[in-house]
Structure 1
Amino acid sequence: MSDYPKVEIREGLVSIIVPDLSKYIVGNRPEPAHAPVFYNPRMEVNRSLSIAIINGYVNYTGKSNIIICEPLSGTGVRAIRYAREINGVSKVISNDISERAYELIRMNIDRNGLSDIINVHKDDANNLLLRIAREGGCDVIDIDPFGSPQPFIENSLRAIRDQGLLCVTATDVGVLSGKYPIKCVRRYGALPQKFPYRFEVGIRILISTVARYALSMDYGIRPLMSFLDGHYYRVCMLVFKDRAYALETLRNIGYSYYRPSTLQRGFISGYPIPGVNRYRLSGPLWIGNLWDAEFLMNYFMKGTRDYFSSRAREVAGLIGEEALGPNIPYALTTEVGRDLGRELPINDVISIIRGLGYQAVRSHFHVKGFRTNADLLRIKEIIMGK
């Protein structure tokens, strides 16, 4: 085993050895990317919510003996938690191209007594995915890279079975949400805009990127769960290897518009060319639902566990509420209260809108964000007392 500082940690129901991040400090904080093997404790929320999602998927589809693949495993914590905490798993495929990571994964698998369930490989992630595709595929693929998932999307779609679950993390939120628009065009083939709801634009661009790869293979997708947590986006979607679903997917790709003068926002269908072009547009992006409300209410929420961190349970609750809101990009309280001269509490804004008979729910994308089907300019006038 390579010689570098290590510590034992507990996460979920497992205990693993990870690099001692206190030895890799950059700017007064631990930097996981500088450790010999990548481990980010902040991604516990991602891992825990993914366990709830995959357990929900197993119950939702009625599948058993599922095979899960994690091509970018690092310490192996995600693969090991999946093997221990997900029902109906027959095999987990864990992989990392790094020799140090491979050694650490094997040690952690042995520590947890899971060598009969987890197969570990030391290979390039895309090579592994293509090999799995040739051997019949797997039910769940989890792409959790450091940075963009774009290089792994196409082969993940090849390796996943029909009606499989593809989960994708993107840590380049700044690129997707408009901070580096040209890089987003290069990497994702879409133009972001710094709209007030730019963090929603980003996740919709990510989904549409997967959708466009799927369409090139005559596949379709349907997001079950999408969320933002700090520095990363996470999307879990069903993949249908069926041309009929591809046509439905095509109808859910379009563009988003925003008009500052009227506070209007929404979606325009039409891909590759938008139906109208009177507005400043962002896209192409996903204009369908970001989540499946039935799945969240009846399957995902039941899969959250008391031993998840308080942050993981908080994010789950916020998304559960937001899923019941309208499929209209979120607004900010600062948009409707800009000329008021004071900060508007979000719960007050929501109460005013609901009192008028409209839908209004908080958005997890922004601390001041909410979704509503009301005319925001009219709401602003009411708040201003006009």
Structure 2
Amino acid sequence: MQRWKINLAVLMFGSFLVMAGMTMIIPFLSLYLKQDLGLTDEHEIGVWAGLIFAANFVTSFLFQPVWGKLSDRYGRKMMLLRSGFGMAVVMVLMGFAAAPWHLLVLRMMNGIIAGFQPAAVSLVAATTPKERSGFAMGTLQSGGIAGSIMGPFFGGLLADSIGFRPIFYITGTLLFLASIVSWILVKENFDKQAAANRPQVGVIKGFRELMTIRQMPVLLSVTFLIQFAMLSPMALIPLYVERLHGTTDNLAFYSGFVGSVTGLSNMISSPILGRLSDRIGSKRILLVSLVGAAVMLLPQAFVGSVGQLLVCRFLQGCFMGGLIPTVNSLIRQCTPDGKESRSFSFNSSALALGNMVGPIVGGALSGFIGIEGLFLVSAALLMLTSVWASRALRAARLADR
């Protein structure tokens, strides 16, 4: 097997373990605060849960460019292992938290250390032939999506059987195993001497240099807008399911099913769309996926049953599989050799910013327009993004010529 294929297979498996471990705690975070960390007031629990959840994205947004710079200087594999082993330690420590602020600080530390996924994307991009980058990015994402689907499911099951704290220890172990497997099997031909001889620039200057690449501001903005539009209604979907279902019987099951079905179709479609993008072009797949995701958001505002919502969410996930992987593929195509890690790190910061801002703005707007309005606003935003991205990428290509 070719080396790039071995790297891709190992890092896809590693991404699965990392995302499964990271999402295991989602189903019981508020219960952990209530039952193990002593909070009793529901408002207080909600405030702490929101802060703890967002803390990871805030510090990740700030520190990803730093790790990207060091990755171009010292190698992607080193940053991959730094993140994997570091997050394993932090996750185990979360199981020993005795107060909410302990968990908040540890989540902030996790965001600082985090970077396994961006490092994996950068390493795969650097070792994969450019004509196969679409397939590689889609396949890598499918592993992470599969982990994010299975993580909450297993987390919920384990919480009922063994309690909350042991799940943090299991998560840390999964992260440690992913790092060990990557350490042994992933190979990178990184010329440290050539990297050391390149002019070293700071994060801000490096960002300015990348912004001179005409496609880069467009692609970073598209990543932010995608995450913003997709996550703005996400926190309110359980309440929407409750209204459609009409009863509390099996409500948790249906809410979880609606949340995971998008990831399931995303996982299936990502490698297929990635392979297709290698044949007809990443830009075409990106634009079709943006329009398709927008169209599938529209009927979600008018569904009359949970079954109808499930169908719409599944189809939406099929188009979502062509979004972030194609953006990553386009970034790889337009980034000069030696600066891939920095480019992907800034893209990760844009993604983290969308993850952070989307739910906050969505929650604020929902009081005025409801979740139905959020679906419509998100659809309009993705449609406008497709028009703007098409024109901006075409203009950048013509300017380069």
Q: Which has the higher contact order (CA 8 A, sep 6+)?
A: 2
Q: Select the structure of larger CA radius of gyration.
A: 1
TM normalised by structure 1 equals: 0.24
Higher percent of residues as helix: 2
